[in-house]
Each structure stands twice: as C-alpha cells, then as structure tokens.
Amino acid sequence: DAGVTQSPTHLIKTRGQHVTLRCSPISGHKSVSWYQQVLGQGPQFIFQYYEKEERGRGNFPDRFSARQFPNYSSELNVNALLLGDSALYLCASSPSYGGNEKLFFGSGTQLSVL
C-alpha cells in the first residue's frame, strides 16, 4: 500500500508569490494534517482536516489556508510568501479525527522562498 504522498518534493518561489502544496493520504484515511518544520526546529501544527471540514488550526496567519477534497486528498495554500515561510511542509494522515495510533507522515515538500 502507498504511504502518504506529497508533491512537489521541492519548490522555489520568490517573496510575494503564492504556493500550493498537495497531499494524498493513505487509502482509507479520512484525516489530513499539515505541519511546518523550519530548519533546526520541530514541526509545528498548521491545520487538520477531517471529512472535508477544518477541525483544527494552529497559530499561523490567514495567509495560510487549506482544503480537503471528496477523495480526502488535501491542498495547503500560502499567499504573499515571506522569507520566513521557507521550511519543510509535512502532511500526515490518519483514519479518523483522533486516530493518533495510526498517524503517518509523508516525506514533505521543501519550500524555499527567495
């Protein structure tokens, strides 16, 4: 079975641009969460979506948004990119909202903002 897949793996943008990151969860998983990992730090929670609804939001500005599609895949959008948005963006999927016993992470998208 395929794990959590993220695309693209690497991305370079300039300040002020917009970016869309994509995540496909493990088959049968209905929850997708997004994390931002700045170099040298632990991941920080951005969003959780379950059954296509936002069920949790971390301390991130409104420039960050996400959505989940009927097939449970998800997109993370970031507007008006800042240098500080450069990070590894991780997606995680689980079967249910609180299904932490089966929470799996993808390999991430490395975003560089120049």
Binding to another protein by residue 50, rule CB under 8 A?
Answer: yes
Binding to another protein by residue 43, rule CB under 8 A?
Answer: yes
**From candidates 11, 22, 30, 45, binder to another protein by CB under 8 A:** 45
Q: By CB under 8 A, what part of segment 56-95 binds another protein?
A: 56, 58, 88, 90, 92, 94
Binding to another protein by residue 7, rule CB under 8 A?
Answer: no
Q: Which is nearer to another protein, 27 or 100 (CB)?
A: 100
Cα–Cα separations (whole angstroms), residue 100 to 15, 17, 57, 61, 67: 35, 34, 17, 26, 21
Burial track 34-68 (b if 16+ CB lie within 10 A, e otherwise): bbbeeeeeebeebbbbbeeeeeeeeebeeebebeb
Alpha carbons 44 and 36: distance in angstroms, whole number = 5
- Site residues for another protein per CB under 8 A: 4, 31, 33, 35, 40-45, 48, 50, 55-56, 58, 88, 90, 92, 94, 97-101, 103-108, 110
